[in-house]
């Protein structure tokens, strides 16, 4: 499984377009304590629709729920955006304290491995792209059980 993190930086915008074509899952991330990050989602969604495979797994994540007092984007707004725009999954996370981080990656891994099993693609190389905020901290919190799940389910079914 290959995971790309572009951190939503404009200088990488032209490079990220090539990532879309081979992505099996795309995770759009906004900061719940920063309304402008949420307001940029339609632009990112337009790029997904322009460049990604129609069957790509689309996930919307509201990050930084640990900043409760600073929240600018209510959870219901994120959920509604997800439903209206055809995302496959929505959740809120905190990379700081690892809230729902395992749930996110478990969901992606489970959905992709189920899809692989359904199409008998035993050794498909998976490419997941994370947009637009950094998830580097997320990788730090992947539990041993999730790593075992990925190892077992990705290559041994």
Where residue 63 falls among pLDDT bands split at 50, 70, 90?
Answer: very high
Q: Which residue has the higher pLDDT, 88 or 151?
A: 88
Residues 29 and 61: their CA atoms lie apart, in Å, by 5
Domain region containing 76: 2-155
Domain count, the chain: 1
What pLDDT digit, counting tens, does each position of 93-119 carry? 998 888 888 888 888 888 877 777 766
Tokens linked to 117: 């099993």
For residue 30, what is the domain's CATH number? 3.40.50.300
Instruction: Inform me whether the pLDDT recorded for 62 exceeds 50.
Output: yes
pTM: 0.73
Spell out the alpha helix ranges (H) of the chain.
Answer: 13-22, 35-39, 41-51, 75-84, 101-118, 136-140, 144-155
What backbone torsions phi and psi does residue 104 show, to the nearest 5 degrees?
A: -60, -55
Q: Are 156 and 32 in contact (CB under 8 A)?
A: no
Residues 9 and 11: their CA atoms lie apart, in Å, by 5
Q: Which residues of 60-91 are buried (b: 16+ CB within 10 A; e: fewer)?
A: bbbbbbeeeeebebeeeebbebbeeeebebbb
pLDDT of 103? 85
Looking at residue 68, the DSSP 8-state letter turns out to be G
Instruction: Inform me whether the pLDDT recorded for 1 exceeds 60.
Output: no
């Amino acid at each position: 499984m290959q995971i790309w993190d572009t951190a939503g930086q404009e200088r990488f915008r032209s490079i990220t377009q090539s990532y879309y074509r081979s992505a099996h899952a795309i995770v759009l991330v906004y900061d719940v304590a920063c309304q402008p990050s949420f307001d940029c989602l339609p632009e990112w969604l337009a790029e997904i629709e322009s460049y990604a495979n129609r069957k790509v797994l689309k996930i919307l994540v509201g990050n930084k729920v640990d900043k409760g007092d600073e929240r600018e984007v209510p959870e219901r707004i994120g959920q509604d955006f997800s439903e209206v725009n055809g995302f496959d999954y929505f959740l809120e996370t905190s990379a700081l304290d690892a809230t729902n981080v395992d749930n996110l990656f478990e969901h992606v891994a489970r959905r992709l491995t189920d899809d692989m099993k359904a199409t008998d693609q035993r050794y498909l190389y998976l490419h997941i792209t994370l947009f637009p905020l950094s998830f580097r901290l997320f990788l730090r919190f992947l539990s041993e059980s999730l790593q075992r799940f990925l190892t077992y389910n990705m290559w041994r079914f």
